[in-house]
Chain A
Amino acid sequence: MPTSTRHLATAPSNADVSRYALRLGDDALISAQRMGEWIAAAPQLEEDVALGNIALDLLGQARALLTYAGQLEGAGRDEDDLAYLRDERQFLNAQIFELGNGDFGFTVARLLVTSTYQHALYAGLRHSADSTLAAIAAKAVKEVDYHRDHATQWTLRLGDGTAESHRRMQQGVDAVWPYVSELFESDALTTALAASGVAVDPNSLEEQVLVYVEQVLTEATLTRPEATVRHTGGRSGIHTEQFGYVLAEMQHLARSHPGAKW
């Protein structure tokens, strides 16, 4: 983006930035919830802890982003209100984050894509004109760098491992692929915010993300599938059937016992 347009563009509205922060926050929140489901169910104790750590990193990002989204909204909603008291159609995460964990191969395939996406996104967002988003991204980029490395290491080992691990890893990649393109969809909101230097245009991330993912897949002797179906709608509140179950588990306590304290 040429610097001149930054001065010409009108300052983005709080509502727009709030909605953008909500999208990123929901991605991180739902991702954290899914990763957390692996605790005590991963193939090894060590992997429980690794996935649990990743979940906690993502939860930290979600808290910062949702808190900021709530402040900008100006309706007095805090991170908890946004996480626990919104209904399905009000969540703006991309669908890839909400899909059921499947087997370990699917989870690794999904994490490879989402962490590579988040890494590219946060790396760009570090230079955002919005200083809060820039600060959150600067911290988060180091965290997702590690998530990406973890997913990469596993993809290589499972893809290039036994015949069975190869089969299941490829199966995971195939199942994830129809949900990948949604991550790179630009719309009026992201285009306007990108023009004012606040947001990273999702479309601009596609090439670098896919280059990295494909490189890992190739090294792992896996094949990049051709997406015949492209699922979309998460950014406008359309979700998969599985999403209701995620929310039910995540929100149950807060909704059954309003104001409960630890």
Chain B
Amino acid sequence: MTEGDDRVVTTEVVTGTEPQQLNAEGGHGAVPLEGVATQQAPQAAAARDWPLWEVFVRAKRGLSHVHVGSLHAPDAAMAVRNARDLYTRRQEGVSIWVMPAEHITATSPDEKDAFFDPAADKIYRHPTFYSVPEGVKHL
């Protein structure tokens, strides 16, 4: 399963009362639950379940933080610590960001065509029609 796959992996039930519920079970990043089919929550998903956090890791100085996955934690401080154990134990990073998955507003798989298809056939948006004179540097 790749990033942007239409399938939604979730173990929670949509209540429908919140404007935008997000989930990233399975480590595929925050995906909206609204308007898409979801599975029934397993019995074990009880009140002790912790909120979901998205984890971003900076591999080394000068690079930007990259989304690496998600995890559960009771609060932000524990989320950073869990992220350290889950995603950087083999020296993958020098800095970690975490953020509550519910604070991410994501595009919906339903909107994929409207959002992304129009860009597909506009090759003139790419600067490929200019011939570059020889000897021009730093272009």
Contact = CB atoms under 8 A, between A and B. Distances in A.
Given A49-B86, A53-B89, A44 B81 contact: no
A14 interface: no
A140 B100 CA distance: 33
Range of interface residues on chain B? 10 to 19
Interface string A130-166: 0000000000000000000110010001000000000
Contact of B85 (A43, A49, A153, A157): A49
Nearest to A51: B85
A49 B88 CA distance: 12
Contacts of B72: 44-46
Interface in B61-114: 71-75, 77-78, 81-82, 85-86, 89
A242 B48 CA distance: 31
A153 B86 contact: no
A43 B73 CA distance: 11
B92 to A, nearest CB: 14
Contacts of B81: 50, 149-150, 153
B50 interface: yes
A149 B85 CA distance: 13
| Interface SS of B by simple majority | mixed
A153 B77 contact: yes
A53 B85 contact: yes
Given A44-B72, A46-B71, A46-B73, A153 B89 contact: no
B48 A43 contact: yes
B86 A44 contact: no
B95 to A, nearest CB: 16
A149 B81 CA distance: 9
Contacts of A53: 85, 89
A40 to B, nearest CB: 15
A34 B81 CA distance: 21
B110 to A, nearest CB: 31
Nearest to A43: B48
A256 to B, nearest CB: 32
A49 B82 contact: yes
Contacts of B71: 46
A157 B82 contact: no
Interface in A41-58: 43-46, 49-50, 53
Given A46-B82, A150-B81, A157 B89 contact: no
Contacts of A45: 72
Contacts of B82: 46, 49-50
Contacts of A157: 74-75, 78
A49 B73 CA distance: 13
B111 to A, nearest CB: 32
B5 to A, nearest CB: 23
A75 to B, nearest CB: 36
A-B complex: 4 closest residue pairs judged by Cβ atoms: A46-B82, A50-B85, A49-B85, A53-B85
Given A46-B82, A49-B85, 16 more contacts: A43-B48, A44-B50, A45-B72, A46-B71, A46-B85, A46-B86, A49-B82, A50-B82, A53-B85, A149-B81, A150-B81, A153-B77, A153-B78, A157-B74, A157-B75, A157-B78
13 contacts: A44-B50, A44-B72, A46-B85, A46-B86, A49-B82, A49-B85, A49-B86, A50-B82, A50-B85, A53-B85, A149-B81, A153-B77, A157-B75
Interface of B: 48, 50, 71-75, 77-78, 81-82, 85-86, 89
Interface of A: 43-46, 49-50, 53, 149-150, 153, 157
